[in-house]
């Protein structure tokens, strides 16, 4: 607290000194006057208040819409009678892994509930971003799709619909991963790392 008090006293004296210098007519190019004998208590309150300018902070604040910086972790698209639920692979898996993480269970339990009354075969398709070897990415995306398939089957039991799992690697991107200058765009790569679950019915 002692340091805070010293800071407040310093902020009080500096504008007053600037005011005294202005009133004395001292030019900027001249040698600064000696204020060593100046007693801050001799400076009137009105002089200090006159040396302070009001600032409207709203003029210096830029509004930011956070929705423009948030990526959806799950999306749904309906085309005819087919519903496709797309889940970010970053939600389901750790980096470069095909084992479902702890947070994936809740996400897939919600999807499994919707698959109980579907007709036909459920298709699970894994996708990767474009970094790395194509064959490796295809294998990784396929292994991830299989992991999702197994989790859904475990949730649904023997009465659940047939589920097929495939991996497309980076062959079917939904976003350009570099800009016009060739700079990498991590947010776009994140969109391409995904698992799509498609089914007929509710």
Tens digit of pLDDT for each residue in 83-114?
999 999 999 999 999 999 988 988 999 999 99
Handedness of CA 195, 196, 201, 202 (dihedral sign): positive
CATH number assigned to the domain comprising residue 92: 3.30.1330.60
**Residue 192 included in any domain:** yes
Task: Report residue 73's pLDDT band, with 50, 70 and 90 as the boundaries.
Answer: confident
pLDDT score for 50: 67
pLDDT score for 69: 40
Task: Report residue 66's pLDDT band, with 50, 70 and 90 as the boundaries.
Answer: very low
Choice between 183 and 51, residue whose per-residue pLDDT is larger: 183
State the pairing for strand pair 194-200/82-88. Answer: antiparallel
**Residue 186 included in any domain:** yes
**Residue 18 included in any domain:** no
Asked if residues 168 and 126 have their Cβ atoms less than 8 Å apart, the reply is yes
**Residue 123 included in any domain:** yes
pLDDT at 121 over 50: yes
pLDDT score for 169: 97
pLDDT score for 117: 86
Chain centroid offset of residue 156 CA: 33
Edge-to-edge strand list for the sheet holding 74-79: 74-79, 82-88, 194-200, 119-127, 163-167
* Phi, psi for 152 (deg, rounded to 5): -70, -40
**Residue 46 included in any domain:** no
Domain membership of residue 193 as a residue range: 74-200
**Residue 157 included in any domain:** yes
Cα 133 to Cα 88, 137, 165, 174: the distances in Å are 21, 6, 21, 19
**Residue 95 included in any domain:** yes
- pLDDT tens, position by position, 149-202: 999 999 999 889 999 999 999 999 999 999 999 999 999 999 999 999 999 976
pLDDT score for 1: 46
pLDDT score for 119: 84
**Residue 191 included in any domain:** yes
Q: Give mean pLDDT, residues 8-22.
A: 47
pLDDT score for 129: 97
Number of domains composing the chain: 1
Average pLDDT score, the chain? 81
Q: Which of 29-38, 95-104, 124-133 has the lowest average pLDDT? A: 29-38
Q: Give mean pLDDT, residues 52-59.
A: 65
């Amino acid at each position: 607290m002692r340091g805070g008090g010293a800071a407040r006293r310093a902020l009080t004296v500096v504008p007053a000194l600037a005011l005294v210098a202005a009133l004395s007519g001292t030019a900027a190019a001249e040698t600064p006057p000696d204020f060593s004998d100046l007693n801050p208590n001799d400076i009137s309150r009105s002089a200090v208040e006159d040396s302070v300018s009001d600032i409207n902070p709203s003029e210096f604040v830029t509004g930011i819409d956070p929705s423009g910086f948030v990526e959806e972790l799950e999306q749904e698209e309906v085309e005819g009678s087919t519903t496709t639920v797309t889940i970010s692979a970053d939600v389901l898996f750790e980096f470069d892994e095909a084992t479902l993480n702890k947070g994936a269970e809740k996400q897939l339990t919600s999807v499994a509930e919707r698959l109980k009354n579907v007709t036909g075969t459920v298709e699970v398709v894994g996708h990767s971003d474009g970094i790395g070897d194509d064959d490796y990415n295809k294998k990784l995306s396929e292994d991830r799709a299989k992991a999702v398939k197994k989790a859904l089957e475990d949730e649904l039991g023997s009465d659940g619909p047939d589920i097929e799992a495939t991996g497309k690697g980076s062959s079917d991107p939904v976003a350009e991963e570099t800009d016009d200058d060739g700079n990498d765009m991590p947010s776009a790569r994140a969109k391409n790392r995904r698992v799509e679950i498609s089914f007929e019915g509710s």
